[in-house]
């Protein structure tokens, strides 16, 4: 534990940070509320101007008939899959082995909705058309996460998406988009959100990843689907009397940052190139397709913590507050480029990579 | 619909309002955040100072080993019942026919948790010891709501609570408190929250009823129970990255108002007496036991809307924005006394009741 603290402390003390938009503190909420008229009334249990306006705006942005604001993506996505399963009468869905639903939700989908899951593709790559065509059981819904976060944020070809969409339509399989980071990939595909969403029957997007809001999600689809999702939202305990603190901040940071996603993407590519020039360091994917990627070190977690902490102290630049073990001799961390990256003086950043390269060369294990 | 608007509009335009703490608008959140240090860090998925401190504070206040902050009571209570059912291996619970879980949650308990419910007592009265003793099926948990909101906020004798608690303990039935309005009844029972909660295995309290926060709930019990409730909170999609907007406002308004509950209670009794002196008007309960009660009119909803709107216009005092139909010739609305009641000039309030009494006498149907 003490090593964790070394890195965490060094990161905290660093003058510049290479990842994210800044601390997740109360200022984030205060900024979002600053210009809001204090007499603006709360919505009441999902009804009212604040929530209606935002739902309408996001439905339009995503090119869907209707949308519903949820406190979390966990809730929104379980509900989407439940609706599609109930509609078809088959409680079976397919998704990637590292889907958020499979590894981060304490099996809510199985424990609350009794939905069976089929894991497609292997852990190291995205789902391809062949995986879907190779399914030998009938499913109600296929969930595709764009980008696939747990493998560094990877994407299939757009053609693959189109083919999967056409195949699912033909086979009567509903296609759901886990778009937690949808805003972040538009630049790579050179498509609008609505164009991508048109390939899917239902779509979830998040407002606290690249957008940097407080919490909250939107689930979009046709009207019949969203009306049913509101009933499930109440069943889950997500139909709060007031969700406006999340809605107002989602809207505020959406306006602030949705136009900056291509900047973050360009910066992520530049940043990844620097890592890939260092001895014993590589990124996944090699060239990012969004604002995110993973940095893999050919060195054990404990050793990397010491190396990185020393670099932060020397340069004043913090890269990450943690490193995770992959094997006994390798480790990684996740990068999400946000507002902070562009504040780092280029010269200081160069020094970071000179030091990193140098220190990695001294590691015996390599 | 036009009659609803008449009353709603008249209420909106009234200078004084007899119920609640004021509009549920963004000012409520801004006030709560005013004194909060903007550098205070958000908790992260249920962990961190903001949430830890409040959970500890509420556990202590409720006299329980541990407590967990939830976005909603709907989520917290379903989870409590699920845990008790799983522990005993019997998916059956009992509660009042007008329990929130039975009538306001789209059957989440049944649809998500597959828990069967047994309805105790009839719709017009609270659960008594005999109802519990008369159960002819084995249950895992009995839920008692204090006060029973849908019948005007009624309470059993304290002795009854103690007897039910002892009986449940003896029979191996877990006792859960729906304490959405627990703060509001301490004065009537002349007990501390911890004393009342000691009769129950698990307890839920809300922060947007008498306390007047934005949203949010606490679920309290022993440590094993709350640890398990956190796993279910994640499954439900309630383990948000940041719940602090609700936590900070819950804490702020708890401090502001928990000490004013006895004032609200006294005012409710005074207010109810005035109604009961009017022709064709009575309150349920006749003498309130908390800050809430129901006002019943021996007149149809539509007629009452016209009468009340006229009174608001003449006196500048709004009583309610709605009236609900009971039968074709009777109607009612709910009173919750908060900060606004004491702002009404007594003389103007007297005029309200003179007018109400007068107008009720003219109704032909009586």
Each domain of chain A, given as residue ranges in start order, spans 2-24+260-361, 43-241
pLDDT at A136: 94
The residue among A237, A238, A241 with the most chain B CBs within 10 A of its CB, best to mutate, is A237
The 8-class DSSP code of residue A25 comes to B
The b-or-e profile of B189-199 (16+ CB within 10 A means b, else e) is: bebebeebbeb
Closest approach of B293 to chain A, Cα-based (Å): 21
* Torsion angle of C-alpha atoms A32, A34, A36, A40, degrees rounded to 10: 100
Nearest CA in chain B to A209: B241
CATH 3.40.640.10 is held by the domain B43-241: yes
Q: Does A234 touch chain B (CB under 8 A)?
A: yes
Instruction: Name the residue among B35, B23, B17 with its Cα closest to residue B256.
Output: B35
Contact B160, B292 (CB under 8 A): no
- A294 bridge partner residues: A284, A334
Task: Report helix, strand or coil for B327.
Answer: strand
Residues A186, A287: Cα–Cα separation, whole Å: 16
H or E segment to which residue A293 belongs: strand A292-297
| CB count in 10 Å sphere of residue B208 | 25
Q: Which of B340, B337, B345 is nearest to B295 (CA)?
A: B337
**Which residues of A, range 108-167, sit inside 8 Å of B by Cβ?**
108, 111-113
Query: Token pair for residue A200?
Result: 């899917």
DSSP string computed for B283-317: EESSS-SSSEEEEEESS-HHHHHHHHHHHHHHHSE
Q: Which residues of B touch A245 (CB under 8 A)?
A: 29, 214, 245-246
pLDDT band at A363 (very low <50, low <70, confident <90, very high): confident
Architecture, CATH, for domain B2-23+260-361: Alpha-Beta Complex (3.90)
Confidence of residue A279 (pLDDT cuts 50, 70, 90): very high
Structure token pair of residue A179: 């778009």
Write down the mean pLDDT value for chain B.
Answer: 97
A276: tokens are: 């890939």
Q: What CATH class is the domain A2-24+260-361?
A: alpha beta
SS3 B154: strand
| A214/B42 touch (CB, cutoff 8 Å), yes or no | yes
Dihedrals phi, psi of A57, to nearest 5 degrees: -60, -45
A42 vs B36: CB contact, 8 Å cut-off?
no
Q: Which residues of B touch A35 (CB under 8 A)?
A: none
Q: Sort out which chain A residues have CB atoms less than 8 A from B30's CB and list them.
A: 33, 38
Does residue A366 surpass a pLDDT of 60? Answer: no
* Site of tokens 């790559």: A125
Length of chain B measured in residues: 366
Tokens of A241: 């009397």
Q: How far is B87 from chain A (nearest CA, A)?
A: 15
What proportion of chain B, given as a percentage, has pLDDT over 70?
Answer: 98
Cβ pair A75:B30 closer than 8 A: no
Rg (CA), chain A: 21
**Cβ-Cβ contacts under 8 Å for B361 (sequence gap 6 or more):** B279, B280
- The residues in B 298-337 lying below 8 A from A, measured between CB atoms, are none
Q: What is the pLDDT of residues A94-127, one digit of tens each?
A: 999 999 999 999 999 999 999 999 999 999 999 9
Task: Quote helix, strand, coil % in chain A, to nearest 5.
Answer: 50, 20, 35
Closest-CA residue of B relative to A228 is: B106
Residue with tokens 């609900």: B324
Residue B103, pLDDT above cutoff 50: yes
pLDDT of A78 higher than 70? yes
Q: What residues are paired with B203 via a beta bridge?
A: B177, B220
**What's the complex ipTM?**
0.97
Residue B5 φ then ψ, to 5°: -65, -35
The helix (run of H) or strand (run of E) holding residue A91 is none
User: What is the spatial distance between Cα B336 and Cα B323, in angstroms, rounded to a whole number?
Assistant: 14
Look at residue B363 and give its three-state secondary structure: coil
**Residues of A in Cβ contact (< 8 Å) with B214:** 42, 241-242, 244-245
A33 contact B CB<8A: yes
Contact call for residues A208 and B42 (beta carbons, < 8 A): no
Q: Do B235 and A24 touch (CB under 8 A)?
A: no
- In percent, how much of chain A has pLDDT > 70? 98
* Parallel/antiparallel/unpaired status of strands B116-119 and B66-70: unpaired
For residue A295, the model assigns a pLDDT of 98
Which of B112, B114, B210, B227 has the most A C-beta neighbours within 10 Å, making it the best mutation to test the interface with A?
A: B112
Indicate whether B3 pLDDT > 70: no
- Please give, rounded to a whole number of angstroms, the shortest distance from the CA of A39 to a CA of chain B: 6
- The CA radius of gyration of chain B, in Å to the nearest whole number, is 21
Q: CB–CB of B178/B204 below 8 Å?
A: yes
Q: With cut-offs at 50, 70 and 90, classify the pLDDT of residue B363.
A: confident
Q: Which of A38, A42, A237 sits opposite B74 (nearest CB)?
A: A237
| Cα-Cα-Cα-Cα dihedral sign, residues A195, A196, A199, A204 | negative
Alpha helices in chain B (DSSP H): 2-13, 26-33, 49-62, 73-88, 100-103, 108-113, 129-133, 158-171, 186-189, 193-197, 223-236, 244-257, 261-276, 301-315, 346-361
Contact A106 B231 (CB under 8 A): yes
Do B174 and B181 touch, CB atoms closer than 8 A?
no
pLDDT bracket for residue B4 (50, 70, 90) = low
Residue B77 in this model has a pLDDT that exceeds 70 = yes
Chain B environment of A105 (Cβ under 8 Å)? 234-235, 237
Q: With an 8 Å Cβ cutoff, are B241 and A215 in contact?
A: yes
Q: Check B241 against A24: CB less than 8 A apart.
A: yes
DSSP state letter for A250: H
């Amino acid at each position: 534990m003490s090593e964790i603290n070394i890195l965490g402390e060094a990161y905290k003390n660093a003058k510049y940070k290479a990842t994210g938009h800044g601390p997740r503190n109360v200022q984030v909420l205060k900024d979002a509320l600053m210009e809001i008229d204090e007499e603006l009334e709360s919505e009441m249990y999902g009804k009212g101007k604040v929530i209606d306006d935002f739902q309408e705006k996001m439905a339009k942005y995503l090119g869907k008939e209707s949308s519903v604001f949820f406190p979390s993506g966990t809730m929104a996505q379980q509900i989407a899959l439940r609706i599609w399963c109930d509609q078809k009468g088959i409680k079976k869905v397919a998704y990637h082995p590292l889907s958020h639903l499979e590894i981060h939700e304490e099996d809510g989908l199985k424990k609350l909705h009794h939905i069976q899951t089929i894991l497609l593709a292997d852990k190291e790559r995205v789902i391809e058309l062949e995986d879907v065509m190779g399914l030998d059981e009938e499913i109600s819904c296929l969930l595709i996460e764009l980008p696939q976060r747990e493998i560094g944020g990877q994407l299939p070809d757009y053609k693959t998406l189109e083919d999967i969409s056409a195949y699912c339509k033909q086979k009567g399989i509903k296609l759901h988009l886990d778009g937690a980071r949808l805003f972040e990939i538009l630049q790579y595909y050179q498509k609008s959100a609505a164009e991508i969403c048109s390939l899917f029957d239902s779509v979830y997007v998040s407002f606290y990843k690249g957008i940097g809001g407080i919490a909250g999600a939107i689930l979009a689809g046709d009207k019949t689907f969203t009306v049913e999702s509101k009933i499930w939202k109440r069943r889950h305990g997500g139909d709060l009397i007031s969700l406006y603190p999340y809605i107002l901040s989602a809207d505020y940071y959406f306006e602030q940052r949705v136009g900056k996603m291509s900047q973050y993407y360009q910066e992520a590519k530049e940043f990844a190139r620097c890592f890939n020039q260092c001895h014993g360091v590589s990124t996944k994917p090699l060239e990012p397709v969004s604002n995110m990627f993973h940095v893999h070190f050919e060195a054990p977690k404990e050793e990397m913590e010491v190396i990185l902490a020393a670099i932060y102290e020397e340069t004043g630049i913090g890269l990450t507050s943690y490193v995770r073990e992959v094997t006994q001799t390798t480790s990684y961390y996740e990068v999400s480029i946000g507002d902070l990256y562009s504040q780092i003086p280029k010269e200081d950043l160069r020094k970071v990579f000179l030091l990193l390269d140098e220190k990695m060369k001294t590691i015996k294990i390599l």
